[in-house]
C-alpha cells in the first residue's frame, strides 16, 4: 500500500469534531422527517380501514402508483431547475401546511371513500418526497469520505424517529385526537426545516466547495431504467424480489386493515392499533440493524441476512395459516416488516454496490418506485378476485409462504448475478 493510499484510508476513518457536529444535526433532521411521517402513518392506515379496509386498498394503491408515475419526472425537473437553498425550505413548508389542511378530513369517523383515497395518496407521496429530499441533500452536503463515516449514524437517527412517531401517536391520540397528530406532524416538519437551515450554515464553512453538485437533478432516465431491468439478469432478479415482497407485505397489510375495520369502531382505536404495529416493528427493526444484520453481513455476506428474513416469514405466515386470528396476524406483520427493513434492505442495498453505476442510478430507481407501486396494485386487486372465488385467510397465508420460499431462491440468484458483475469490473 502506498503512502497516499494510507493517508486516504486514515482520512476515511478519522472523524473530526466538525463532522460529528454535522452528523448530529443531520441525525436530528432525519429523526424529525421520519417522526413526522410515522405520526400520520397510523392515521392513514385507520382512515383506509374505516373507508372499507381491503376493499378500497386497490384504489388507494392505484392512486399512489399513478401519482408516483406522474411525479417522478416532475420531481427531477423541479430539483434541476431550482437550487437546494430555495427548493428544500419551500418543499417542507408546503407539506407542513398540507398536513394542517388535511386535519379535518383525517379525523372524520366516517370519511368518504374519495377523502380516504386523497389522504392516503397525500401521505404516501409525502413520505416518498421528503425522504428523497433528505438523502439528496445529504449527498450534496457531504463528500464521499464523509458519507462512509457518517451515513450510518445518521440513519439511526431516522430509525429512532420511526420509533418515536408511532409511540407518540399511540400515547397522544386519545388526548389530542387524530387532527392533533397532524398538527404535531406539521410541527416536526418545521423542526426538520430548522435543521436544514443550520446545516446550510455548516456547509458554507465546511461542506463541499463544488456548487454545481447542489444543482444536479436527483433522477433521470426513467425509460432507460425500465429497459435495463429487463436486459440485466441481476436487475430482473431484484425486480422479482420486489414483487414477491409486495405479495407478502400487501397481504398482511390488507388482513390487518380488515381486522381494524371489523373490530375497532373509532378513529382513535384504529389509530392506536396501527401505531402499536409500527412501534413494535420499528423497535425490532433497530435491533436487527444494530445487532443481527451487521453480524450476518460481515461474517457471512448479504445472502445470510436475506435468507433469515425469508425463513422468519415462512414461520410467521405458516402460523397465520394454521391459527388465523387478530393477534397472530398482527405479530406476522410486525416480524415481516421489521425483517424487510432491518435485514433485507441493508443486504439488498449492499448488492447494488457491486453493479455498474448506470444500473444503480437508473434501473434501481425504476424498481424502487414503479415496480414497487405496481406490485401493490396487482396484489390488492388479485386478493379481491381470489376472495370472490372463495379464498380465505389460510389460502392467502399459503400463497405468502410460497412467495417467501421463492424469495429465498431469487435471493440466491441475485447474489450470484451481483458477484458476476463484480468479477467483470
Q: At a CB cut-off of 8 Å and minimum separation 6, what does 415 contact?
A: 301, 302, 303, 306, 351
Q: Give the model's confidence band at 314: pLDDT under 50 very low, under 70 low, under 90 confident, else very high.
A: very high
Question: How many Cα atoms sit within 13 Å of 20 on the Cβ side?
Answer: 5
CA distance linking residue 414 with residue 232, whole number of Å: 11
Report the interhelical angle of 144-206 vs 113-141 (nearest 10°): 90
Burial class (CB in 10 A: 0-12, 13-18, 19+), 192: buried
pLDDT of residue 140: 67
Q: Which domains does the chain have, with CATH numbers?
A: 16-219 (1.20.1250.20), 221-425 (1.20.1250.20)
Is the pLDDT assigned to residue 398 strictly greater than 90? yes
Residue 396's pLDDT band, with cuts at 50, 70 and 90, is very high
Is the pLDDT score of 148 beyond 70? no
Mean pLDDT across the stretch 270-276?
Answer: 82
- The Cα–Cα gap between 315 and 119 comes to 34
Q: ∠ CA 277-289-421 to the nearest 5 degrees?
A: 120
- Looking at residue 401, what is its pLDDT? 95
- pLDDT mean over 279-288: 86
| Residue closest to 124 by CA, chosen among 71, 193, 192 | 71
Is the separation of the CB atoms in 143 and 136 below 8 Å? no
Q: Kindly state the average pLDDT of the residues 211-230.
A: 56
Entry pTM: 0.69
pLDDT of residue 81 exceeding 70, the answer is no
Per-residue confidence (pLDDT) for residue 2, from 0 to 100: 40
Residue 307: pLDDT band (50, 70, 90) is very high
- Contact between 291 and 342 (Cβ < 8 Å): no
Instruction: Give 109's pLDDT tier (boundaries 50, 70, 90).
Output: low
| The predicted structure's pLDDT at residue 13 | 46
Name the DSSP class of 13.
Answer: H
Structure confidence by residue, pLDDT tens digits, 118-136: 888 888 878 777 776 777 6
Alpha-carbon distance values, 244 to 72, 100, 377 (Å): 23, 36, 13
Model confidence at 107: pLDDT above 70: no
Pick from 37-41, 219-223, 290-294, 349-353: least confident: 219-223
Amino acid at each position: 500500500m502506498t503512502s497516499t493510499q494510507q493517508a486516504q484510508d486514515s482520512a476515511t476513518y478519522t472523524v473530526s469534531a466538525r463532522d460529528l457536529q454535522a452528523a448530529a444535526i443531520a441525525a436530528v433532521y432525519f429523526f424529525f422527517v421520519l417522526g413526522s411521517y410515522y405520526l400520520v402513518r397510523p392515521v392513514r392506515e385507520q382512515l383506509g380501514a374505516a373507508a372499507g379496509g381491503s376493499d378500497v386498498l386497490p384504489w388507494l394503491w392505484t392512486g399512489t402508483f399513478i401519482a408516483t408515475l406522474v411525479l417522478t419526472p416532475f420531481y427531477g425537473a423541479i430539483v434541476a431547475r431550482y437550487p437546494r437553498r430555495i427548493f428544500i425550505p419551500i418543499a417542507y413548508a408546503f407539506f407542513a401546511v398540507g398536513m394542517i389542511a388535511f386535519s379535518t378530513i383525517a379525523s372524520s369517523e366516517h370519511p368518504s371513500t374519495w377523502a380516504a383515497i386523497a389522504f392516503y395518496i397525500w401521505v404516501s407521496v409525502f413520505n416518498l418526497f421528503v425522504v428523497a429530499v433528505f438523502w439528496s441533500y445529504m449527498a450534496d452536503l457531504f463528500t464521499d469520505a464523509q458519507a462512509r463515516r457518517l451515513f450510518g449514524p445518521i440513519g439511526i437517527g431516522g430509525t429512532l424517529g420511526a420509533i418515536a412517531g408511532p409511540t407518540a401517536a399511540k400515547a397522544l391520540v386519545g388526548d389530542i385526537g387524530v387532527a392533533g397528530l397532524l398538527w404535531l406532524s406539521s410541527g416536526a416538519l418545521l423542526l426538520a426545516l430548522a435543521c436544514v437551515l443550520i446545516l446550510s450554515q455548516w456547509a458554507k464553512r465546511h461542506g463541499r466547495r463544488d456548487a454545481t453538485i447542489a444543482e444536479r437533478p436527483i433522477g433521470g432516465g426513467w425509460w432507460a431504467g425500465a429497459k435495463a431491468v429487463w436486459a440485466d439478469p441481476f436487475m430482473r432478479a431484484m425486480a422479482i424480489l420486489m414483487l414477491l415482497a409486495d405479495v407478502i407485505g400487501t397481504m398482511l397489510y390488507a388482513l390487518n386493515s380488515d381486522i381494524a375495520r371489523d373490530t375497532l369502531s373509532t378513529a382513535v382505536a384504529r389509530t392506536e392499533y396501527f401505531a402499536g404495529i409500527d412501534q413494535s416493528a420499528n423497535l425490532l427493526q433497530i435491533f436487527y440493524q444494530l445487532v443481527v444484520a451487521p453480524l450476518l453481513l460481515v461474517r457471512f455476506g448479504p445472502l445470510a441476512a436475506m435468507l433469515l428474513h425469508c425463513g422468519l416469514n415462512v414461520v410467521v405466515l405458516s402460523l397465520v395459516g394454521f391459527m388465523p386470528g387478530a393477534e397472530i396476524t398482527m405479530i406476522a406483520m410486525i416480524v415481516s416488516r421489521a425483517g424487510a427493513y432491518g435485514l433485507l434492505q441493508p443486504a439488498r442495498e449492499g448488492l447494488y454496490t457491486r453493479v455498474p453505476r448506470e444500473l444503480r442510478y437508473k434501473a434501481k430507481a425504476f424498481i424502487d418506485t414503479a415496480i414497487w407501486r405496481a406490485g401493490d396494485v396487482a396484489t390488492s386487486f388479485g386478493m379481491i378476485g381470489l376472495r370472490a372465488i372463495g379464498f380465505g385467510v389460510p389460502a392467502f397465508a399459503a400463497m405468502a409462504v410460497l412467495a417467501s420460499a421463492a424469495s429465498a431462491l431469487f435471493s440466491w440468484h441475485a447474489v450470484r448475478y451481483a458477484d458476476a458483475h463484480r468479477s467483470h469490473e
